[in-house]
Amino acid sequence: MFVSRSMVSQVITIDKDASVFEAQEKMAANGIRHLPIVDADNRLIGIVTDRDIRSVMPYRLIKEKGIAEEREKVAHLKVEDIMTRNPKTISPMYTIQDALLMIQKEKVGAFPVVDDEGKLQGILSVRDLLRAFINVLGIGQPGTLVGIEVEEKIGQMKKIVDAITEENISFGSVLVARTWDEGKRAVFPYLLTNNVSKVKKKLSAMGYKLINPMDWYLDKLPKKP
Amino acid sequence: MKRTGYLHDNRYLLHDTGPYHPEMADRLIAVYNGIKDAGLLDQVTLIPAVRADIKWIKAVHDPNYIRRFEEICLSGNRTFDYPDNQMCVDTYETAFLAVGGILDVARRIMEGELDNAFCAVRPPGHHAERDQAMGFCYLNNVAIAARYLQMEHGIQRVGIIDSDVHHGNGTQHIFEKDPTVFYYSIHQHPSFAFPGTGREFEEGSGEGRGFTKNSPVLPGQGDDVYERLIQSDLLPAFERFKPEVIIVSTGFDGHRDDDMSDVTLSTEGYSWIMETIMKLGNRYAAGRVISVLEGGYCLERLGELAANHVRILLNG
C-alpha cells in the first residue's frame, strides 16, 4: 500500500504572494486545511495551514469578517510571511504504514508528497489515511466482527483461520491486539457473513474463549506513551 | 377485536437454504405452531400467497438484478452474490410469492377487508439492496410494499419500523433520499453486528435528510434500553412525520435466547415494542399496521413470540 494510491493528486495550491485572506477563502471554498506553495516549476517551497492563518488573525476577524480596520492590520500579510518553509514531506513510494507512523511522530495533519526532483505530486492528509484504514478494516462491506482470546504462542492464528475457512466464510480483515491480558492476545476477524453463530460454537468447542463484545474496545488499548 | 390477517403459505417452505443455515424453513413451522397452540388460528384471517406482478418489484429493484436473480437461481447455483445467500431452484419463485402475498395483504387492508396483518414470509428482505442480494435477503419485501401503497393506493407517507436486531441496510438505502418514506431501525450496534451499517449519524440525505433514524443498541443491553430509545427516537419522529400506514420489519432475533445477536430482549420486551407500535398505528395510521417477518432464528422461542405478536395485532 503506497502513498501514491491514497493521496490526493489534484492538489489545490496557492501563490506565495497571495494574501492571508485569499488563503483563508481558498481553504473555506474547498473544505481543506492545508495549502502547499510551489514555484513556477511545481517545486514545493512551503505549506500554509488553517492554524497558521488563525494564529495571525485577531480573534474577532475569525468570527466576523466585516470589520474594516481589523482587516487592515493583517491585509499586508502574505502567504509567504506565515508559511512553513521546507515542511516535512513524504515520497509517493512511502507506504501507508510509514505515513501513519510519521503523522503520529510529527504531529501534523497532512504531508505534501514530493518526488525525487522536489516536485509536488500530491498531498496526503489524516483524512486520506482514515479512508485507507477503513478500506483495510474491511468495514465498507457487510460483515460481523468476532473477538477470540488466544494463548500467545505460534500457530494459533492458523487454527482459527482454518476453522473459519472450513465454514466457507471470507475474511474482511483480521486485527490482532497484542496488549491483552498477560500471555494472551486478542484476535478480531471481521467476517463477511451474517451467519456467525455456527462458527462461534465451533471455536468455543475448540477451546477458544470468545471475548465478550463489551470488553473489545478502548479499555484494552495501550496507554498513551 | 381487530380483523387481523395472517399470511402463511407452505410454498414459503420451498426456499431451501441447505444444511446448517439459520434462515431455514423450520422457522415458519415454529411460527405457525406457536400461533396455532395459542388458539389464535380461529381468530385470524388466514391469507394464502399470490405471485407478485414483476412491475412492483421493478418499482424498487434494478431490472438487471431481477434478471440475474432468476438466471442464477434457475441455473442451479446454490449461492447468490454472497455465500450467506444460500438458495435452491425454487428461491426465485418463493421470493415472488413473499412479495405477492404482502401486496395482497396490503390491498385487503386498504380496501377495508382487514385492519392489520402479520406476514410470515420467507425469504426475508430488509438487507436486499436495489441491485444486490445480502444477508439471506433477495427482494426487499417491505420496500416494495411501501412503493405499492404509494403508487396503487395513493398513500403519501409510509412509516417503516425495523425491529430486527440487524440493521436493514437495503431498506435504508432505497429510501434514504426520499422524504415520503420514514425508515426507523433499532438494532445491535453495527460495530458488533452484521451488516455494519445503521450508525446513529446516518440520517438520510438530500431531500430525505431527517427521514431516516437509527438507534444502535450495545451488546448486553435489552428491554430498558429499547424502551428508552424507542421513546426518545421513534415516538417524536413519527409525531412529526405522521405516517398513513406503518410497515414493520419484524425480527425476533434480538431475543436473549437467539444466538444471532448479543442483545438481551425478553419476550415481554418484544410485546412492549409491538404494543407501542400499535399505539402509533392507531394514533396516526388508522390502525393500518402491516408486520412482515425478517429474522428470528431461535426455534424454541419463535412460537411464543409470534403468538404474542399476533395477539397484540388482534387486540389492536
Residue A198: closest C-alpha in chain B? B20
Tell me, what's the pLDDT at B267?
98
Considering only residues A71 and B99, tell me which one the structure prediction assigns the higher pLDDT: B99
Question: Across chain A, what does the average pLDDT equal?
Answer: 87
Q: Which residues, in sequence order, are CB contacts of A78 under 8 Å at separation 6+?
A: A16, A17, A18, A19, A20
Is A10 a residue whose pLDDT tops 60? yes
Q: Which of A193, A200, A201 sits opposite B84 (nearest CB)?
A: A193
pLDDT at A76: 85
- Kindly report the number of other CB atoms within 10 A of residue B49's CB atom: 23
Q: Which residues of A touch B193 (CB under 8 A)?
A: 144
Which residues of chain B make contact with A201, given a CB cutoff of 8 A? Answer: 259
Residue ranges of alpha helices (H) inside B25-137 are: 26-37, 54-58, 63-74, 91-110
Residue B263's CB is within 10 A of a number of other CB atoms, namely: 26
* pLDDT greater at residue B310 or residue A198: B310
Task: Say if residue A64's pLDDT is above 70.
Answer: no
Q: What is the pLDDT of residue A176?
A: 86
CATH superfamily for domain A3-135 = CBS-domain (3.10.580.10)
pLDDT over 80 at A185, yes or no: yes
Query: Using a CB-CB distance cutoff of 8 angstroms, which residues of chain A are in contact with residue B84?
Result: 193-195
Task: Quickly state the pLDDT bin for A74 (edges 50, 70, 90).
Answer: confident
> Which ranges of chain B have pLDDT less than 70?
none
Please say if B127 is a catalytic residue. yes
Q: How many helices (H) and strands (E) does chain A have?
A: 10, 10
- Identify the pLDDT of residue A136: 83
Residue B41: how many CB atoms within 10 A of its CB? 14
Searching chain B, which residue's CA lies closest to the CA of residue A213?
A: B219
Instruction: Assess B199–A contact: CB distance below 8 Å, yes or no.
Output: no
Domain B4-315 in CATH 3.90.1150.10? The answer is no
Q: Is 60 exceeded by the pLDDT of residue A181? A: yes
Q: Where are the domains of chain A?
A: 3-135, 144-220
pLDDT of residue A14: 95
Q: Does residue B220 sit at the A interface (CB-CB below 8 Å)?
A: yes
Kindly name the residue from B8, B61, B126, B127 that is annotated as catalytic: B127
pTM of the model: 0.85
Q: Do B22 and A144 touch (CB under 8 A)?
A: no
Decide if the complex's ipTM is over 0.85: no
* Superfamily per CATH, domain A144-220: ACT domain (3.30.70.260)
Please state, in angstroms and rounded to a whole number, the distance separating the CA atoms of residues B172 and A147: 28
* Interchain contact, A142 vs B196, CB within 8 Å: yes
SS (H, E, C) B229-268: HHHHHHHHHHHHHCCCEEEEEECCCCECCCCCCCCEECHH
Domain map (residue ranges) of chain B? 4-315
Cβ contact (<8 Å) for A195 and B196?
no
A205 part of contact set with chain B, CB < 8 Å: no
pLDDT value at position A2? Answer: 87
